[in-house]
Chain A
């Protein structure tokens, strides 16, 4: 697995190359938000609601204000005209509570911001926080979405006593008829539990206001700097071109930083009020309590099929725990589950009903996979439930129902058009890697010995490259600008905002191939709205498929211009461009990129109809999503004594289209699988009945540690996407989407001799032990 050295071969795309980002990261010299120090900077500490629901009778800030070193204290009354925290999603009839940046007279979840102390340093700010006195009147709260929609439940928002934010219905075909006539119907309630994203870097904001020119700079650990700029400018009532948003090094996001939170506007407000820079860094406790959570589904699935295993139709009632407010995309996430609900299977009759439910919890929103893991978990579980009902092999039933290779582009029952696919290929490859036949024989033997061994398959599909603008709230295109500098070095400005995905490397590979320059000659800039042209950001596995494609088209444009200057220098009308130089096809004379670039800026002479300089910019609107897919196989054994699950083997065969850097793709799959494994086995954001988050620290919420994860064998098939010229699809979320169903299917298979058909996540040892105890009784 050694990395190859970088050489100018012209075909760097597809190579396993070391990342350009890493030197700063492995030497501790990268600049994350908390590394930003500005002269005269103050620190903010936020007082948060200890109650899931409470009235605020009054707040006394006088003692805090008197505390030495305290600069200011603000409460809801000071910021009532700022905001609201935006919801970017729109659905018919959606109820949108007004989301103030500090609570007004009532709080709606534990962690709800109530007041902010600004002080000379973070120690003083924290001390003064204890001096703010709030007169609380606790109210009844509801944390469980199914209880929240029962009659008589406490109203999260008094104006909507049913706690329903929206109902959403989608239907295709003749669902009732098909179900009525079906030979087999299987039903299952499936929970996708609340998860807490836990990027290793929490959120953080630094705001710096320059009164002289009325410009505000906000540094924020964000996946979407430009969208944040637009929205925070609106929240603060300032012009968007007076606000600069910088997303510096971002220490992981996983969707939790695909958002605009109260704190960005709050810090902007403080900087403008005090005239001094201010920093707020989220504590881990705050991260658990106030940064969005993921998942939070209770799903009721029904599948209609023929006796031979042919799937005919599917019904889904989806209860989405929204939490107390809508963050940026909160209500949109379950609609992605509906889009994805048929998976990669060929059937046309679907009905989905979503009930979006308010609870006294922190909002849910996009978390790695965002709606697709829930859907995939559902369909992949249901296929296994059906296979068990029909006593069919889970591989066989999948192969029977895949959308066939000749059906692409394939129109799904939910209105999507799958771009390309060869769904059997990764499954066959995975089956071959594990030697499926022998594995089943081994399982038979294990069972005879009384061991609980399971084999689980998931064949997932997903929606990537989000997305065409009509389907994406704030625009789904992406931008790139490429500038060849006078020296011939290349600067790329991309609208995406990586948080570890390595696009400084993969984009450099694309540039190096297209322009024939060295990787080291390329600099990729991102994350600063004053440096980079307008862009959208990094989420929904879109960065390479859309941002990389914008880059590709900008490079094509640029190459034309290079050739014009090359032709001028070489005094020839027959030149070609390759290997970083223009060549006169008649004389063989050459002009290299630095000569050409120099001439373009010096501009003593210009080719006809050509402007000086070598810059090209592209805004690319994708015609469709991309649809990666793959097959994961997980082998488990359950400890009869304790219920503990051991993963004996994990194989992931993914098809993300064309691969630019296999090392990075494998890293994405490995990390993604482990996040899916976290959901399957360990993670659960648990609120108690009073709305207290009882898994509110790393002491109680188990994200996987090095000792808790198996070796992950990865492999690939390659089915290029026709949607973009790079043929890429996206791989950021694939591992997570494929993992949870393969693990759960494996454990259900292990326990199937006990009559188990379904298990809800996380598969804690105790939950399995109870089943084993039940079977012994």
Chain B
């Protein structure tokens, strides 16, 4: 199937990109792995595509103190394979490795994925668990928002017209932390029916710190703070985990589609949360 016609621009600076994006019918082409299929099905028809691959400063993964800074145009494959990411933020590498397939990971970018805000995307679970922040730039300056503020709803973000995601920041994982991302795969698309990310730090045999992120369950990914609270201070036994995850979907308006009913998704959220926590606990030192 054939997309509608459009103009194509390859800005060589952020300023140029902003100028092009001031047109409300312009759209960013980051990795294109969601956008191009939508254009082919004519569900999206931008008049201008602004390809960011030539814009300096949007790539690269840097360590700055205890923060890992990931450029918006960094591909899933770069994240999955980067020794720096695997060492300093293994959860992010694990999330990236779970996205789509090899070809998609070679092209798709973290910035593109976030800006698209698919409710079944893999990153948001981990980014919530990591309490990531998203740096946004616009002609009038920059701002940084938390992942929780960035992801507003299904296919909706905090990006204002003309704004761009330029960087995602995550903390360097604590020494001895255990992390895991567990995903129930929608067999046709490879997206997450439910995906849960867990970060666990133990101290003296007890869970001292827990962060849990959930994707796919509802229209927007979220951090399961209730689960975290119930985990912290326990030894992370099966019964502790079972108690902690029991209410993970409480008050959540669960998605309901041909791939999973709302009730089953709620159940899967509990199962996969438990699996992610068990794996993270076992990996935590």
Residues of A within 8 A of B271 (CB): 641-642
Residues of B within 8 A of A700 (CB): 188-189, 258-259
Residues of B within 8 A of A437 (CB): none
Contact with B along A282-300 (1 / 0, CB 8 A): 0101000000000000000
Partner of B2, one of A126, A641, A699, A702: A126
Contact A695 B258 (CB under 8 A): yes
Answer whether A126 and B188 are a contact pair too, CB < 8 Å, given A285-B41, A642-B268, A686-B258: no
Is B209 among interface residues, defined by CB-CB distance under 8 A? no
Contact A283 B1 (CB under 8 A): yes
Residues of A within 8 A of B4 (CB): 127
Within the complex, the shortest CB–CB distance from B168 to chain A, in Å, comes to 26
Residues of A within 8 A of B184 (CB): 642
Complex alpha-carbon distance, A24 and B159, angstroms: 50
For chain B, give the interface size range.
10 to 19
Contact B261 A126 (CB under 8 A): no
B interface majority secondary structure: loop
Q: Give the residue name and chain of the B residue nearest to A684 (CB).
A: B258
Contact A698 B1 (CB under 8 A): no
Contact with B along A698-716 (1 / 0, CB 8 A): 1111110100100000000
Within the complex, the shortest CB–CB distance from B98 to chain A, in Å, comes to 12
Contact A769 B188 (CB under 8 A): no
- Which A residues, 104 to 141, have Cβ-Cβ distances below 8 Å to chain B? 122-123, 126-127, 130
Residues of A within 8 A of B42 (CB): 130
Residues of A within 8 A of B267 (CB): 769
Complex alpha-carbon distance, A256 and B97, angstroms: 36
Complex alpha-carbon distance, A702 and B190, angstroms: 10
- Which A residues, 662 to 701, have Cβ-Cβ distances below 8 Å to chain B? 682, 686, 694-695, 698-701
Within the complex, the shortest CB–CB distance from B205 to chain A, in Å, comes to 26
Residues of B within 8 A of A682 (CB): 187-188
Residues of A within 8 A of B41 (CB): 285
Answer whether A702 and B187 are a contact pair too, CB < 8 Å, given A126-B1, A285-B41: yes
Complex alpha-carbon distance, A285 and B260, angstroms: 23
Is A389 among interface residues, defined by CB-CB distance under 8 A? no
Within the complex, the shortest CB–CB distance from A625 to chain B, in Å, comes to 36
Complex alpha-carbon distance, A770 and B184, angstroms: 17
Q: Give the residue name and chain of the B residue nearest to A125 (CB).
A: B2
Contact B187 A705 (CB under 8 A): yes
Residues of B within 8 A of A283 (CB): 1
Contact A699 B258 (CB under 8 A): no
Is A766 among interface residues, defined by CB-CB distance under 8 A? yes
Residues of B within 8 A of A642 (CB): 184, 268, 271
Complex alpha-carbon distance, A694 and B260, angstroms: 14
Contact A699 B188 (CB under 8 A): yes
Contact with A along B176-200 (1 / 0, CB 8 A): 0000000010111100000000000
Residues of B within 8 A of A127 (CB): 2, 4-5
Contact A285 B1 (CB under 8 A): yes
Is B264 among interface residues, defined by CB-CB distance under 8 A? yes
Contact B188 A702 (CB under 8 A): yes
Within the complex, the shortest CB–CB distance from A279 to chain B, in Å, comes to 14
Within the complex, the shortest CB–CB distance from B193 to chain A, in Å, comes to 9
Within the complex, the shortest CB–CB distance from A130 to chain B, in Å, comes to 8
Partner of A122, one of B2, B188, B189: B2
Complex alpha-carbon distance, A122 and B267, angstroms: 47
Residues of A within 8 A of B268 (CB): 642
Contact A699 B1 (CB under 8 A): no
Within the complex, the shortest CB–CB distance from B2 to chain A, in Å, comes to 4
Contact A708 B187 (CB under 8 A): yes
Contact with B along A631-655 (1 / 0, CB 8 A): 0000000000110000000000000
Contact B1 A766 (CB under 8 A): no
Complex alpha-carbon distance, A473 and B261, angstroms: 45
Residues of A within 8 A of B259 (CB): 700
Contact with A along B130-169 (1 / 0, CB 8 A): 0000000000000000000000000000000000000000
Within the complex, the shortest CB–CB distance from B255 to chain A, in Å, comes to 13
Residues of A within 8 A of B189 (CB): 698-700
Residues of B within 8 A of A130 (CB): 42
Residues of B within 8 A of A126 (CB): 1-2
Give the most central of B186, B189, B259, B264: most A CB within 10 Å.
B264
Contact B264 A766 (CB under 8 A): yes
- Which A residues, 611 to 647, have Cβ-Cβ distances below 8 Å to chain B? 641-642
Residues of A within 8 A of B264 (CB): 766, 769-770
Q: Give the residue name and chain of the A residue nearest to B190 (CB).
A: A705
Residues of A within 8 A of B5 (CB): 127
Contact B260 A698 (CB under 8 A): no
Complex alpha-carbon distance, A285 and B37, angstroms: 12
Within the complex, the shortest CB–CB distance from B122 to chain A, in Å, comes to 16
Q: Give the residue name and chain of the A residue nearest to B261 (CB).
A: A766
Complex alpha-carbon distance, A206 and B10, angstroms: 38
Complex alpha-carbon distance, A722 and B268, angstroms: 55
Give the most central of B1, B2, B267: most A CB within 10 Å.
B2
Contact A701 B2 (CB under 8 A): no
Complex alpha-carbon distance, A285 and B43, angstroms: 14
Complex alpha-carbon distance, A700 and B186, angstroms: 8
Q: Give the residue name and chain of the A residue nearest to B258 (CB).
A: A694
Contact with A along B244-272 (1 / 0, CB 8 A): 00000000000000111100100110010
- Which B residues, 267 to 282, have Cβ-Cβ distances below 8 Å to chain A? 267-268, 271
Complex alpha-carbon distance, A16 and B258, angstroms: 44
Complex alpha-carbon distance, A126 and B261, angstroms: 36
Contact with A along B37-67 (1 / 0, CB 8 A): 0000110000000000000000000000000
Contact with A along B118-136 (1 / 0, CB 8 A): 0000000000000000000
Complex alpha-carbon distance, A122 and B186, angstroms: 33
Q: Give the residue name and chain of the B residue nearest to A285 (CB).
A: B1
Contact with B along A738-770 (1 / 0, CB 8 A): 000000000000000000000000000010011
Within the complex, the shortest CB–CB distance from A118 to chain B, in Å, comes to 15
Residues of B within 8 A of A702 (CB): 186-188
Give the most central of A283, A686, A766, A770: most B CB within 10 Å.
A766
Q: Give the residue name and chain of the B residue nearest to A704 (CB).
A: B187
Within the complex, the shortest CB–CB distance from B271 to chain A, in Å, comes to 5
Complex alpha-carbon distance, A682 and B264, angstroms: 17
Complex alpha-carbon distance, A770 and B187, angstroms: 19
Complex alpha-carbon distance, A122 and B261, angstroms: 40
Residues of B within 8 A of A123 (CB): 2
Complex alpha-carbon distance, A123 and B5, angstroms: 9
Complex alpha-carbon distance, A700 and B257, angstroms: 10
Complex alpha-carbon distance, A248 and B235, angstroms: 66
Answer whether A701 and B1 are a contact pair too, CB < 8 Å, given A642-B268, A766-B261: no
Complex alpha-carbon distance, A701 and B258, angstroms: 10
Complex alpha-carbon distance, A682 and B5, angstroms: 37
Q: Give the residue name and chain of the B residue nearest to A286 (CB).
A: B1
Residues of B within 8 A of A701 (CB): 188
Give the most central of A642, A686, A695: most B CB within 10 Å.
A642
Residues of B within 8 A of A686 (CB): 258
Residues of B within 8 A of A122 (CB): 2
Within the complex, the shortest CB–CB distance from A447 to chain B, in Å, comes to 22
Within the complex, the shortest CB–CB distance from A557 to chain B, in Å, comes to 51
Q: Give the residue name and chain of the B residue nearest to A708 (CB).
A: B187
Residues of B within 8 A of A698 (CB): 188-189
Residues of B within 8 A of A703 (CB): 188
Q: Give the residue name and chain of the A residue nearest to B260 (CB).
A: A766
Within the complex, the shortest CB–CB distance from B277 to chain A, in Å, comes to 14
Residues of B within 8 A of A285 (CB): 1, 41
Closest 9 CB pairs of A and B: A702-B188, A702-B187, A126-B2, A699-B189, A766-B264, A641-B271, A283-B1, A123-B2, A700-B188
A-B contact pairs, 23 of them (CB 8 A): A122-B2, A127-B4, A127-B5, A283-B1, A285-B1, A285-B41, A641-B271, A642-B184, A642-B268, A682-B187, A694-B258, A695-B188, A698-B188, A699-B188, A699-B189, A700-B258, A701-B188, A702-B187, A702-B188, A708-B187, A766-B261, A769-B264, A770-B264
Instruction: Name 5 extra pairs, CB < 8 A, besides A126-B2, A686-B258.
Output: A127-B2, A702-B186, A702-B187, A766-B260, A766-B261
